[in-house]
Amino acid sequence: MANTFEIKQTENPSMLEINFGPQHPSTHGVFRMNVMLEGEKVCALKPVMGYLHRNQEQIAENLPYAAIMPYTDRLDYINAMSNNFGYALAVEKLAGIEVPERAEYIRVIMAELTRIVNHMAVIGFLLNDLGAFFTPVLYAFREREKILDIFEEVSGSRMMCNYFRFGGVKRDLTAENLAAIGGIVAKLPAFLDEFEALLTKNEILCMRCQHVGVLPADFAINSSITGPVLRASGVNYDIRKVDGYSIYNRFDFKIPLGTKGDVYDRYYVRILEMRESLKILKQALSKIPQGEILNKKTLPLLKMPRNLKPSVGEAYARIESPKGELGYYLVSDGTPQPWRYHVRAPSLINLTVLEDICLGQKIADAIIILGSIDIVLGETDR
Amino acid sequence: MMFGMGILKGLWVTLKNFVTSYFCKPGSGGIFTVQYPEERCAEFENFRNFPFLVYDGSPDKIRCVACGICERECPPKCISITMATDAAVPNTVDQKNIKVGAGKPARRPEIFNIDYSLCMNCGMCEAVCPFDSIYMDHAFETTAMGNRTDLLKHKEDLLKSNDYFLKVRPTLAAAVTEKRRIAEEKKRAAAQPPQGPAL
């Protein structure tokens, strides 16, 4: 590959081009950064994506709607449940399928548990990038494992859940499952307090993260950044509130906001979001009704997935995935397969500001800025 | 707050975790990892890994009728099925001197291959099978010792008894077995000539 920075290098021959990744533990997968350094300062940064490209959108356009569900698990492989959620919403919008009450509650419970799982993983790996080698990440994974056990018990798989169905969910939560989730929800605040005692006021963390990688609010909006990264910059935008999809308008929760938009704010917003998710979970667990978990009309579709032929049209459904706005765009031409299937992946779009917020920072800080943006390459490259 | 207190507090947390990991029960801060392969965690019943084929009694009584629905619906297309054809009945020819029964499709698979290297464990085959034949297994130790073609599993590798199914997924298997038993009884009752009152 030709030198990406030929022009800059000729301007200043003391610059050094460094190639980060794709096999680098701090790039969270197979992400590659071409960095121009002057000393330790980043002068230019070019993200190179596509190493995990699996042609998901084209594959999906040749499959019946139901068979795409397991592929959505593999987009953002940490948050299979919320990926399922977005896709199920899109197809339900396209085909006009209603979802029973209990299924809606189960969906919200699963989506919020996923948010906790994701934020734990992100914060853990961010601390890994900072040099706190695997202690915080293992504390976080200890709690995450309990949630993954619930996922495995109800869906059959820890990470590739494939749990949502059009018009409901695959399997009902038993009383024991609900009790187990209740137990996790009751114990997590104590863990979060401990986690915060370890991290939030830690001087090293503060000095490394504060005033690093500042993303101004107006720039974040202009670059269509979403999710915790946007909210850390102080923009009150959460699709759970703005769109009120599913039954989120019934729950009482706040949107935690940052002030400066630096790495520390992005870390702290995620901690606060976990606490808000626990609030939602508590309310959902106390209010979950008995009843159907799958719309009766879509029950035959489980056996005969090719019978789902939405009428000609298009639909776009979006959810607040733990990483940002996850949208699915579907165009139907009346056949069992979608004519067009597109994923609006938050990881990809949040990554576009990487160069702008890394410029002028040290190379070691570029790593934590990347970590704080929270990308998953399965979703970025699709 | 004094500079450095955050670090000291953090160190206190790590020390506490270090101690509790040795002296507490798994539920309350102790180690809950196990020493695999000597120790194993309990498996969840709904855990799904790779598909297998169920037979009743002996391996020739395979439930699969080679309808090909799972082959068609499998998202990564890892299943391939060929229906068996009946062998000719010996020493019989019809009027046109063609062996009787030869080449007639039999309702059982001749070839049933699943490529485990392609399978993505989604459970679609299990969901669409109308003959209660293919289910997701718990066996996860499926290392291929040779080359990658060892992961192409043939019918003989995939066949497992209903007793095995009852063992790994008791609730689902019991429900399926009961459903099949009732269907069998109904079929038998229908096959018997109606015994009306003697006139």
CATH of residue B145 = 3.30.70
Question: Residues B39-68: what's their mean pLDDT?
Answer: 86
The C-alpha atoms of residue B34 and residue A133 are separated, in whole angstroms, by: 22
A268: phi then psi, degrees, rounded to nearest 5: -75, -35
**A267-318: pLDDT as tens digits:** 999 999 999 999 999 999 998 888 888 888 888 888 888 888 888 889 999 9
The C-alpha atoms of residue B81 and residue B155 are separated, in whole angstroms, by: 9
Q: List all residues 6 or more positions away from A123 whose beta carbon is below 8 Å from its beta carbon.
A: A136, A140, A195, A199, A267, A270, A271
Peptide bond into B37 cis (omega under 30): yes
Residue B4 lies in a domain: no
B8 — pLDDT class (breaks 50, 70, 90): confident
Measured between beta carbons, the chain B residues lying within 8 angstroms of A197 are: 9-10, 12-13
Question: Residues B35-42: what's their mean pLDDT?
Answer: 86
By residue count, chain B amounts to: 199
Residue B19 lies in a domain: no
**B126-141: pLDDT as tens digits:** 888 888 889 988 888 8
- Predicted-assembly ipTM surpassing the 0.90 threshold: no
Which of B110-149 are b and which e, b meaning 16 or more Cβ less than 10 Å from the residue's Cβ? Answer: eebbbbbeebbbbbbbbbbbebbbbbbbbeeeeeeeeeee
Pair of tokens at residue B48: 């799904």
Measured between beta carbons, the chain B residues lying within 8 angstroms of A152 are: 44, 46-47
Mutate to test the interface with A, among B124, B126, B140, B172 (most CBs of A within 10 A): B124
Q: Cα distance from A185 to chain B (closest Cα, Å)? A: 14
CB B1 to CB A201 under 8 A?
yes
The CA-based angle A127-A133-A135, given to 5 degrees, is: 80
Measured between beta carbons, the chain A residues lying within 8 angstroms of B118 are: none
Residue B78 lies in a domain: yes
Residue B148 lies in a domain: yes
Q: Cα distance from A203 to chain B (closest Cα, Å)? A: 6
Measured between beta carbons, the chain A residues lying within 8 angstroms of B128 are: 302-305
**A109-132: pLDDT as tens digits:** 999 999 999 999 888 888 888 887
B121/A contact by beta carbon, under 8 A? yes
Sign of CA dihedral B3, B5, B10, B15: positive
The C-alpha atoms of residue A171 and residue A293 are separated, in whole angstroms, by: 7
CB B46 to CB A156 under 8 A?
yes
Residue B9 lies in a domain: no
Q: Are strands A324-332 and A338-344 parallel, antiparallel or unpaired?
A: antiparallel
Residue B6 lies in a domain: no
Residue B26 lies in a domain: no
Q: Cα distance from B103 to chain A (closest Cα, Å)? A: 30
B84/A contact by beta carbon, under 8 A? no
Residue B121 pLDDT greater than 50, yes or no? yes
More confident site: A12 or A77: A77
Residue B123 lies in a domain: yes
Domain count, chain B: 1
Interface of B with A in 10-49 (CB under 8 A): 10, 12-14, 17, 32, 44, 46-48
Residue B152 belongs to what domain range? 51-188
